[in-house]
Amino acid sequence: MLRTTSLLAAFASAWTLLPGSAFAEPVELPVVAETYPYLEGTLDLELGNDWVFRADDPGAEVDDLYFLGELGVKLGLTPIFAINFGLTAESVLDPEPFKDRAFGDIGLYVDTLNLEAKLGAATLFAGKFGPAFGTAWDITPGVYGTEFAEDYELSEQIGFGATYEFDAGAAGKHTLGGHVFFVDTTFLSDSIFTRRGRVGIGDGGIGNTEKLNNFSITLDGTDLEALPGFSYNLGYRHLSAGVTETADEDGFVAGLAKETALASGMVLGLNGEIAYFSDAAGLAGDDALYTTVGLSVANGPWHGELAGTVRRLDFAGAGSTRDHLVQVSAGYGFENGIDISAGYAHVREADLDYDIIGLRLTKSFEFTSRK
């Protein structure tokens, strides 16, 4: 903003020197400076209903009406320093077998709390955050598109991270990231209203070490001149064994996404991601492979999605299983920002099948104290 207004002022002054200029005197344009502190963020609200039917396990046939709220806030302290804060309200416990649930077991917890420092193209942060690794758990379209990929999402970790953005011109913009962390075992790992329980090192689990011996390295890119609408992500992670594990886990991920605007006015989206894990979940000799694809079509307020994931688990000396999820969904976005969607999924997990129908009503709000 400062550079833009300065250029405008210089242009206005130069204009007065031209023959026939209508300006009798040079025009002084105000210079608008950033003000600190400032507060900005988003609030995402969702009402949903999931009905599981035709399940091989009769206890899984439940109807779950739920609420989800996610608040993300940035408090800008100076041109360099900011505080990031996130709250989530959701059902923090799984439904009980054979029992339907309506807005049950809702807890409130802090999912993000960190200090950020932006130094030119580099960004540093320390505190509680979700280290980068993969994107399918976030961007795969549809009511159930992200379900299996969420297995490898990294969230609620304590540690340090850094990213560096560089512009390669026609070759695109790229971001290199590195993070060291461990599972949050502080009081922030619990929730209020409904307690989900504080995480302890004795609970085990990969990454639950209370040491900075877990890390991820990522590279993301977009804005390639030869491939408009294209983006990619690459990542590697190492998660150390907790007290209940027998090995450290190593994971690799690679993903692509493409969005295309058609001449008809329709927008076509496509994404795919493969993630491989050796000694998966900290079990020596076990491997896991996830393959996720998603397709979306939007035409004005209408949208539709087709997505699926295949998850292959190979067990040390004990065969393998092949889980899968296929979903189809559609929705309508109103001018006031409210979106209503409906979806169906067929799921096979641990050699058991079930079908699920879901409804989603969502609305997002943005706010800022900046003028």
CATH class of the region 54-59+117-368: mainly beta
CA–CA distance, 216 with 180 (Å, rounded to integer): 7
117 to each of 38, 39, 72, 155, how far by Cα in Å?
15, 16, 17, 20
Task: Report the candidate in 244, 235, 242, 308 with the shortest Cα–Cα distance to residue 276.
Answer: 235
The pLDDT value recorded for residue 28 is 58
Match 């302890």 to its residue by tokens.
Answer: 200
User: Where does the chain hold its CATH 2.40.160.10 domain(s)?
Assistant: 54-59+117-368
Task: Work out the average pLDDT over 63-80.
Answer: 98
Q: What is the pLDDT of residue 9?
A: 40
Query: Taking 90 as the threshold, does the pLDDT of residue 56 lie above it?
Result: yes
DSSP state of 148: T
Mean pLDDT value of segment 57-70: 98
How confident is the model over 337-361, as pLDDT tens digits? 999 999 999 999 999 999 999 999 9
pLDDT average, residue stretch 25-37: 63
Q: Does the structure show a pLDDT above 50 at 24? A: no
Give this prediction's pTM: 0.90
Summarize pLDDT for 119-165 with one digit per residue, the tens: 999 999 999 999 999 999 999 999 999 999 999 999 999 999 999 99
What is the average pLDDT value for the chain, to the nearest integer? 92
Q: Which of 26-35, 75-84, 119-128 has the lowest mean pLDDT?
A: 26-35
- Residue 167: what pLDDT? 96
CA angle 342, 344, 348 (to 5 degrees): 150
pLDDT of 21 above 90: no
Q: Does residue 321 surpass a pLDDT of 80?
A: yes
Rounded to an integer, the average pLDDT of 11-29 is 43
Q: Does the structure show a pLDDT above 80 at 268?
A: yes
pLDDT interval class at 33 (50, 70, 90): low
* Model pLDDT for residues 214-238, shown as the tens digit of each residue: 999 999 999 999 999 999 999 999 9
Least confident of 46-50, 94-98, 160-164, 316-320: 316-320
Q: Is the pLDDT of residue 19 over 60?
A: no
Asked if residue 22 has pLDDT above 60, the reply is no
pLDDT above 70 coverage of the chain, percent: 91
DSSP 298-360: EETTEEEEEEEEEEEEE-TTS-EEEEEEEEEEEEEE-TTS-EEEEEEEEEEETTEEEEEEEEE
Q: Percent of the chain having pLDDT more than 90?
A: 90
Which two three-digit tokens encode residue 36? Answer: 């600190």
Rounded to 5°, the CA angle 310-312-317 comes to 170
Q: Is the pLDDT of residue 318 over 80?
A: yes
Residue 23 confidence (pLDDT) above 70: no
Task: Extract the tokens encoding 147.
Answer: 């379900």
The model's pLDDT over 114-128, given as tens digits with 9 standing for 90+, comes to: 999 999 999 999 999
When pLDDT is averaged across residues 239-256 and rounded to a whole number, the result is: 98
Taking 3-state DSSP, the helix, strand and coil percentages for the chain, each rounded to the nearest 5, stand at 10, 55, 35
